Amino acid sequence: MEEIFIQTEEQRAILESVRRFVEDEVTPRAAELDAAADQDPTAGYSTEIVEAADRLGLRTMTLSEELGGMGVDSLTTAMVVEELGRGDLGISVVFAQTLKIAAIMEKAYNEDQKQRFLVPFVEDPQAVLSICITEPENASNYIIPYETSLNTRAVKTDGGWIANGMKHFISNSNQSRFFLVFMQTDPSKPMTDGVSCFALERGHPGFTVGRVHEKMGEKLANNSELFFEDCFIPDENLVGEAHVGFKTLGEFFPSSNSYAAASILGVAVACYEKALDWAQTRIQGGKPLIEHDGIRAQLAEMKMLIDASRSYIHRAAWLADHQEEGWDLTLGALPKVMASQAAWKIATWTLEIHGGHGYMKESGVPKLIRDAAAFLHSDGVNRTLLLRAANFMNW
């Protein structure tokens, strides 16, 4: 169990290289990309950053070495995702998604699917991944989950399936090369046992990208709509068994929530560091803000919330890989709630501590506020996740 308290030499090395990557590749570009996205959301996305990440092996690190990855565990990945979030939330999300989905693919794909989808993913330095569930009418519905079915339907036909419908808010989806798509294949059943998972590649006939969403923040990541129009999907693209797509998802990826939590925790750390820096340099009442007790205590409370959230996330990520040691299903729903609540509070305090300066774009605080707001809903609205966790609690 000590893994959850220690950073190993290897982890230190990985995080050090990620830190350098953030300083060299992300920080210099982030503000400009964020601003460019105001005119065109796709302008917020940077292929250069993805390629740079590929050069140091970050893009594929969760895959096994046999597939060309580093086989890093969930705990280490969570540390990396936090470090990325400290640099920029959007970048953290681009990779948290790709790293998580790649690992799911390796677990869920059969040999043939690995050859067709994972090998080319590894070879393409620009390839990122998407997982497609959310629909205009189905958000909390699938998280709780309620007894409803997806509106994107795939109907069995000779040698495959005909898919129709749409998804939206899907991270990376206008940029992704490969997709895991969940569709209703048994309309008579609720999602839990009437949904199948399909593997798709960009450009598949009948499968197109719609609007790229204009978001408040998290702009270095794109989210878009996806359309399926009489889209024929061959049987070979069915992932796992038909109709039980959701079960596989859960089993295959317990640490998804921890990664989301780590992304937003990174933003909390960035806010804390910015507030600390300002409090040390800004003079009011003849002394730096940090010498004013009220602000001093607030900075310590920020650190407390960060450390408690991180301890919780690390425990959840490690247990996701060692479930026999005491995995608890609520760890798949609550760490993000904890971290996003902490991040929002810390972002608010950071804004207050900066006074009027914090409201001016040049200070960089506005971007942090807009980013921090993302995870009040991303990966599940907090209230919804609390209800989901309640469903997991064995009463």
User: Which two tokens mark 316?
Assistant: 């959840």
369 Rama sector, left if φ>0, alpha if ψ -120 to 50, beta otherwise:
alpha
Could you give phi then psi for residue 283, rounded to 5 degrees?
Answer: -105, 125
Sites for a second copy among residues 90-109 (CB under 8 A): none
Q: How far is the CB of 274 from another protein (least distance, A)?
A: 13
Task: Name which position in 216, 297, 300, 304 contacts a second copy (CB under 8 A).
Answer: 297
Task: Name which position in 294, 324, 394, 395 contacts a second copy (CB under 8 A).
Answer: 294
How many other CB atoms are there within 10 angstroms of residue 49's CB atom? 23
With respect to a second copy, which residue has the nearer C-beta, 243 or 292? 292
Could you give phi then psi for residue 319, rounded to 5 degrees?
Answer: -65, -30
User: Which two tokens mark 304?
Assistant: 């407390």
Q: How far is the CB of 91 from a second copy (least distance, A)?
A: 37
* Interaction partner, residue 354 (a second copy, another protein, none; CB < 5-8 Å by kind): another protein
Instruction: Determine if 286 is a binding residue for a second copy (CB under 8 A).
Output: no
* Interaction partner, residue 359 (another protein, a second copy, none; CB < 5-8 Å by kind): another protein
With respect to another protein, which residue has the nearer C-beta, 102 or 265? 265
Sites for another protein among residues 304-343 (CB under 8 A): 304-305, 307-309, 311-312, 314-316, 319, 325-328, 330-331, 333-335, 337-338
Nearest to 311 by CA among 256, 265, 264: 265
Beta bridge partners of 260: none
Q: How many residues does the chain have?
A: 395
Task: Return d(Cα 367, Cα 220) in angstroms, integer.
Answer: 11
Task: Return d(Cα 173, Cα 36) in angstroms, integer.
Answer: 19
Sites for another protein among residues 116-135 (CB under 8 A): 134
Residue 77 has, within 13 A of its CA and on its CB side, a CA count of: 35
Task: Name which position in 2, 137, 293, 362 contacts a second copy (CB under 8 A).
Answer: 293
Sites for another protein among residues 244-303 (CB under 8 A): 276, 280, 283-286, 290, 293-301, 303
With respect to a second copy, which residue has the nearer C-beta, 180 or 305? 305
Identify which range of 293-301, 322-330, 353-361, 363-371 contacts a second copy by CB under 8 A.
293-301
Task: Return d(Cα 222, Cα 153) in angstroms, integer.
Answer: 25
User: Which two tokens mark 138?
Assistant: 């189905």
User: Which position has the token pair 């390796």?
Assistant: 106
Sites for another protein among residues 2-41 (CB under 8 A): 2, 4-7, 35, 38-39
Provide the b/e sequence for 201-227 (b: ≥16 CB within 10 Å): bbebeebebeebeebebbbbbbbbbbb
Task: Name which position in 113, 148, 151, 192 contacts another protein (CB under 8 A).
Answer: 148
Q: What is the DSSP string of 237-262?
A: GEESSTTBHHHHHHHH-TTHHHHHHH
Q: How far is the CB of 195 from another protein (least distance, A)?
A: 17
Sites for another protein among residues 160-189 (CB under 8 A): 169
With respect to another protein, which residue has the nearer C-beta, 68 or 145? 145
Site string for another protein, 205-244 (x = CB under 8 A): --------xxxxxx--------------------------
With respect to a second copy, which residue has the nearer C-beta, 287 or 394? 287
